[in-house]
Chains A and B, each alone.
Chain A
């Protein structure tokens, strides 16, 4: 029986999407945190996903089976912060400049929607598999 593999796969995907949602929230929350130097400025984060192939008991020889998702790493964007002239800002440097993180809000919002949708897809997979298993348990009942 390979229901446990499906639970593992859907669970890993939900976990990965949660990490992604976490980084989106962090990016959006820090979009307006100004700082005095480019080095101190917050950098947008992004998770990297990778597929890890399962080797089930039945499918070992044939190389069949599913693949769960692993979050390899969370990387920073590496993009240069935006320099803005705001002499009134308390953290402005000597020339009156502050640095804002280069967070593309539209990009983050679409990323958020995509992550939510993927999460919901996997919840739906879990629901379906649950009803499949329940049907199997009721096998032979009147």
Chain B
């Protein structure tokens, strides 16, 4: 019986990759806080995650179209910018925390694998 590393790690490695992509999008929102006309964007994490599971594990496969959505601001701004600092900061830090959570799970998986290999 052999151990398939990919299967052993489960959903977490894909979640990690998606978290990283999302952090890029959110950091772009934060960076363009003062750019006139900039539209804040985000992805529906749960939907993208489901798509990753069904869609041959291809990150953002172009066949199913972009999963990027526009953020609906709570208050419109005169210059057309839809970045709301508090919202984006909250989303960014939550995304970073979720990234750490996925990392922790992966670490636990690795520890389990190591124990299985060493037979302890």
Size band of the B side of the interface?
Answer: 35 or more
What per-residue 1/0 map shows which CB atoms of A51-75 lie under 8 Å from chain B? 1001010110111111111000000
Complex contact B103–A135 (CB within 8 A) = yes
- Say whether A125 faces chain B, with CB atoms less than 8 Å apart: yes
Please give the distance in Å from A23's CB to the nearest CB on chain B: 13
CA distance A114 to B85 in the complex (A): 11
B window 1-51: CB within 8 A of A: 16, 20-21, 23-25, 27-28, 30-38, 43
- Say whether B119 faces chain A, with CB atoms less than 8 Å apart: no
CA distance A10 to B61 in the complex (A): 26
Contact of B31 among A62, A63, A69, A114 (CB under 8 A): A69
- Say whether A128 faces chain B, with CB atoms less than 8 Å apart: yes
CA distance A136 to B107 in the complex (A): 10
Known contacts A140-B110, A142-B111; A51/B32 CB under 8 A: yes
Complex contact B21–A122 (CB within 8 A) = no
Interface of B toward A, CB cutoff 8 Å: 16, 20-21, 23-25, 27-28, 30-38, 43, 59-62, 65-68, 85, 89, 92-93, 96, 99-100, 103, 106-107, 110-111
